[in-house]
Amino acid sequence: MRNFYSVPLSLAALLLSLGSHAGQEDSAVAVFAGGCFWCTEADFDKLPGVLETTSGYIGGSIENPTYEEVSSGRSGHIEAVQVRFDPRQTSYAKLLEAFWPTIDPVNGNGQFCDNGPQYRSAIFYLDAEQQRLAEASKTALVASGRLQQPIATVIQAATTFYAAEDYHQDYHTKNPLRYSYYRHGCGRDQRLQALWGKSE
């Protein structure tokens, strides 16, 4: 016997699927590395127009790396954050502008208390326009004379981005006390104050 409820339910599922795809088409993606991804994720989550952030790993030589492999430096990956944003509310250029004051651009061997290439700062571009904007942003920062040392933050093409383990996602909201203790203990905001003259 035909189930008369199957047609509207199927239609509803189709519409829901289409709506989901439409939302993705109306968004854009950027990838930034700024040391510990808990902190980078928290910094981007505060920005208007940011729809979603995902902590993960990029730039390495093995597939589906684990946190242990990345943090040990064996995989060649960098801790990074994938940012999905609404181009109608913000822009890639604005994300770049917001990114710089959240990192120590002159440290080429990590960020704050986290040392090693797996914690270095980087901008991973997904297309030629992002590359152009990222390089222009870095050039403008150099020309400003704001920093007294060479900028070590690299700009390179994005490779496969692997989402980190679930317990790393939204860490600043799931574990606010531990996150606050880590961020303060790492000296992140103190260093940002010294570099940029403001506290994040």
Which residues have a catalytic role annotated?
36
CA distances from 151 to 46, 139, 148 (A): 25, 10, 9
Q: Which residue has the tokens 């303060």?
A: 184
Contact 124, 158 (CB under 8 A): yes
Contact 199, 192 (CB under 8 A): yes
**What are φ and ψ of residue 48, in 5° steps?**
-60, 140
Helix (H, G, I), strand (E, B), or coil: what is residue 56?
strand
